[in-house]
Chain A
Amino acid sequence: METEENLRSTRIVFGVHCLKIRHKGMYVSYEPDPDPAVYNELFDSGSYWCAQTQTSFGPDGQPVRPDICQGGRTCCAL
């Protein structure tokens, strides 16, 4: 399920980001824009949380964000 969730996100990239990162766009159902050139993640407005801690900090106590929720953190699940 986790893998599938991440594959569905247009911004969080499977294999790059931690499988536990979440944002609003992952949990609401909406149509993709037909024009990929205008892609802009509406719901990805800077609010990220960790599915495991359910807060904006990972199990290691550091912030949850795409730029840092990648390999190299002890808690990161790829």
Chain B
Amino acid sequence: MPNFDQQPPAGGGAPTPQGRGGAPGGAPPAGGRGAAPAGGAAPQGRGAAPPAPPSALALKYPWPAKPVLLGTRVKRIDGPDKVTGRAKYTHDINRPGMLYGRIIRSPLPHARIVSIDLSAALKAPGVKAAYNVKEPGAQVMYQGDTVAAVAADTEERTKDAARLVKVEYEALPHFANEEQAMDPDAPVVFMGGNTRPGTAQDVGDIEAGFKQSAHIIEATYYTHVITHVCLESHSIVAEWEGDKLTAWCSTQGVFPSQQGLAMGLGIPAANVRVITQYMGGGFGSKLQAGAEAVIGAKLSQMAKLPVKLTLDRKEEHLDTGNRPSAGAKVKAGVTADGTLTSYQADSWGTGGAGQGVGNLPIPYIYTFPNRKRTHKDVYINSGTQRPMRAPGHPQACFLTEVLMDELADRVKMDPVEFRIKNAPVQVPSAMYRTYLPEGAKLFGWDKRHATGDPTPGPIKTGFGVSVHTWGGGGSGTQAHCDIMADGTVVMKCGTQDIGTGTRTIVALVTAETLGLPITAVRAEIGDTNYPRSGGSGGSTTAPSAMPAIRLTAAKALEALFVKVAPTLGVSADTLVATNGRIHVKDDPTKGVTWKDACKTLGADTISVDHMWEAGLSSVNSSGAQFTEVAVDIETGIVKVKRILAIQDCGLVVDRLTCESQIYGGVISSMNFALYEDRILDRVTGQMVNPNMEMYLLAGMSDIPKIDIILKDMPERGVVGVGEPPTVSLSAAIANAVRNATGAAIRSLPLHPHKILAAIEQQKAGGTL
């Protein structure tokens, strides 16, 4: 019987870096381990054969030592299209005769559907289709759970008709939070129980470790639930031609959505084409087609007309995923000289209805030789979690890094020094021993005061730091390159640009490889008609796609060399492509322009396929983030004053889009720390802030200066950077607040009420 627990099997693999069996350099759970590509490439998952040795092509085309475009600041090639509105997002797609779909959702957190009456809706003006998503007798398990759907000829009429669907519910017991679900007297709401234990972990000798400890901290830490808040909501435009479906989806994976639509509709996957040209944010919530896409396609199938179904903000908050909560009751020890000893944690978390928080990598990064853990997944009646930007890491980072500052204080060590002392062994993917002192120097860490700002007056400032890790390796992507006789170059790849700049870097790497300006190549992505690539998640897009693009372009170039070589009277293997010309490597004058070279194709087109190979990408990265905050101790309000983010991502493809990922990640982490909070009414289980007014997000005035230090490691190849920068700032902010006020802040978000309460408690001498 395999082990299906949320935690890794004890002995097999710890959820911590220590699990690496003495070589903790790599990421904790991060590792980028697991499944192989969704499509195309040979399976390389666990137990599969090791990756094939590099092909001759891969050996000939490593990343260039002296690149022209790679690592420079290249503007997005579709930037002008986006700012002028020429770029069509899913919601901008309009088809002839198109209807608008809408989902009727449960207002209650748990109920049995007694009856659904579609008759009034079906008679309403403009309505062309309506159906029961769930049948009477079925249960709705959270507010926002799907019940029925309707499509009509205008958006307004659809909304009106949706309100005419009469649903009768029989309310059932519900849980609005973990405490209610964990109550031993609570009724059983979920099959198999309201909570589920994870596998216990017991490594080393926990009690011996505590005996060695000069100081022991026992405290409870907690991070709350937030939602993805994609600016572009989940949406689909579905159009059928006979039994074939074309679906414009706001998705992070055209191929995953293709399979999801096919299986959801019960049709062959070959009959589904998914297109995603532009996407406005997913953060993990768009790695599946989602019920919303299946419902849109089904309405279209029933009405025999195209249907656009776009979720509104409230639906986004309720039913397109969330980041699970995570709590841990922790006991941790440290010796007098600042060496970590034992870490004991009883953790829990909820991912909503029937879903847990999953594998929490605690203790995060640092080396506790003795560890003992229990875990409990808790199920409540809220929308179910979907993966959210570095699943498990922001929570685990907070649970660990806040503790680290408290432990450092006990042994009177500087937090940076304390972290370095307990950091894992230095390897390229785990450079904490380098990044921490470097960041400290750049940040002016020497100006940090000890815990508790001694400055008079209500404004206290403080410094905080935290580190993070992530996987972000690549594999498996396929690509296709056409070079045409007129010099045109088209690179096709079934990856997608989820707002990160993938289209730009596909063009960039193609251009770099062919020695052309970026404007001379066309990148075609975001379509299941193109060669297979994985979903854009796990920071895998660039490390999966860029090697494939590089080698596919190289293969096409080699084919062009073969055509051109005879006209120059040289052999093909002497040729290179630089600066818009193809020429003999050692004699740049002996060559032709790109255009003239392509003329040798005559009626032919070079048309080649290739795929990702090992050697051009790596897995795992590390980073550190520093922040300074100001806390008004008379109002409890925290202002972040400045941020420094140090991040490695191997070979930088486009410095501009890479930095952009870090800005986004850092701001998102700040929102997690200070503002975002999915608040369910504890009595009714209904969300009180399903909007962007009372669900707070930083505006421009709330975001301070963010300095980014990108650590170039071109020798490692491409490493994804989408997730790592969003992990650690929230913990750094909490540490800075503690440094400013002297009050222990052990849970998020850092709302004024919590700050004021912590300050009160600290005044009473109750925090340490």
Q: Which residues of A contact B (CB under 8 A)?
A: 1-2, 4-5, 7-11, 13, 16, 20, 22-49, 51-57, 61-68
- Distance in angstroms from B663 CB to nearest chain A CB is 23
Whether A8 pairs with B45 at a CB distance below 8 angstroms is yes
Are A43 and B475 within 8 A (Cβ)?
no
Residue of B nearest to A43 (CB): B538
If over half of A's interface residues share one DSSP class (helix, strand or loop), that class is named, otherwise mixed; here it is: loop
Q: What residues of chain B lie closer than 8 Å to A68, measured between beta carbons?
A: 191-192
Interface size on B, residues (CB 8 A): 101
Candidates A16, A52, A57, A65; contact of B264 at CB < 8 Å: A52
When A33-B619, A51-B259 are in contact, do A46 and B391 touch as well, CB less than 8 Å?
yes
B13 near A39 (CB under 8 angstroms)? yes
**Chain B residues near A54 (CB-CB < 8 A):** 260, 263-264, 288-291, 293-294
Q: Which of A22, A41, A61 meets B359, CB within 8 Å?
A: A41
Point out which of A37, A45, A52, A55 has the most chain B C-beta atoms below 10 A from its C-beta. Answer: A45
Asked if B354 and A63 sit within 8 Å, CB to CB, the answer is yes
Determine whether the beta carbon of A63 is less than 8 Å from that of B353.
yes
Q: A40-B8, A40-B359, A46-B356 are in contact. Are A28 and B540 (CB under 8 A)?
A: yes
B329 interfacial by beta-carbon distance below 8 Å: no
B46 at the interface (CB under 8 A from A): yes
From A23, A30, A41, A57, B540 is in contact (CB under 8 Å) with A30
Cross-chain contact B259 with A42 (CB below 8 angstroms): no
Q: Say which residue of B28, B253, B291, B472 sits within 8 Å of A27 (CB atoms).
A: B253
* Known pairs A20-B263, A27-B253, A44-B359 / 13 extra A-B pairs, C-beta < 8 Å: A10-B35, A28-B38, A28-B287, A30-B475, A31-B32, A33-B619, A39-B46, A45-B357, A46-B359, A47-B321, A51-B259, A54-B289, A67-B196
Interface-lining segment among B377-385, B434-442, B597-605: B377-385
CB of B127 within 8 A of chain A? Answer: no
Residue of A nearest to B619 (CB): A31
- Indicate whether B528 reaches chain A with its CB closer than 8 angstroms: no
Min CB gap A10→B, angstroms: 4
Q: Are A38 and B31 in contact (CB under 8 A)?
A: yes
- The CA of A4 and the CA of B48, in the complex, are separated in Å by 12
Instruction: Count A-B pairs with CB separation below 8 Å.
Output: 256
CB-nearest residue of chain A to B614: A31
Q: B70 within 8 Å of A by Cβ? A: no
A64 nearest in chain B by CB position = B354
**By CB atoms of chain B within 10 A, which of A7, A9, A32 has the most?**
A32
CB distance from B768 to the nearest CB of A (A): 33
Residues A31 and B13 in contact in the complex (CB < 8 Å), given A49-B288, A54-B293: no
User: B5 — which chain A residues lie within 8 A by C-beta?
Assistant: 67
Residues of B within 8 A of A23 (CB): 387
Which of chain A's residues has its CB closest to B355's CB?
A56
A-B contact pairs, 21 of them (CB 8 A): A10-B35, A26-B35, A26-B38, A27-B256, A30-B471, A30-B534, A30-B543, A33-B33, A34-B50, A37-B20, A38-B31, A38-B33, A39-B33, A40-B33, A40-B359, A42-B32, A46-B357, A46-B377, A51-B260, A55-B146, A56-B352
Inter-chain CA distance A46–B455, complex, in Å, is 45
Interface 1/0 per residue, B38-76 and A, CB below 8 Å? 100101111110110000000000000000000000000
Closest A residue to B612 by CB, please name it.
A29
Given known A-B contacts A1-B259, A22-B288, A8 and B351 have beta carbons under 8 A apart: no
Report B378-410 residues with CB < 8 Å from chain A CB. Answer: 379, 384-387, 391-392
Residues of B within 8 A of A36 (CB): 46-47
Chain A residues, CB < 8 A from B21 = 35, 37-38
Is A43 a contact of B354 with CB atoms below 8 Å?
Answer: no
User: In the docked arrangement, what's the CA distance between A57 and B544, Å?
Assistant: 31
Q: How far is the CA of A37 from the CA of B683 in the complex (A)?
A: 46
B 14-30 to A, binary, CB cutoff 8 A, 1 in contact else 0: 11000111010010111
Contact B385 A47 (CB under 8 A): yes
Minimum distance in angstroms from B109 CB to a CB of chain A: 14
CB distance from A58 to the nearest CB of B (A): 10
**In the complex, are the beta carbons of B538 and A63 less than 8 A apart?**
no
Q: A1-B269, A8-B43 are in contact. Are A56 and B384 (CB under 8 A)?
A: yes
Bound-state CA distance A63–B139 (Å) is 12
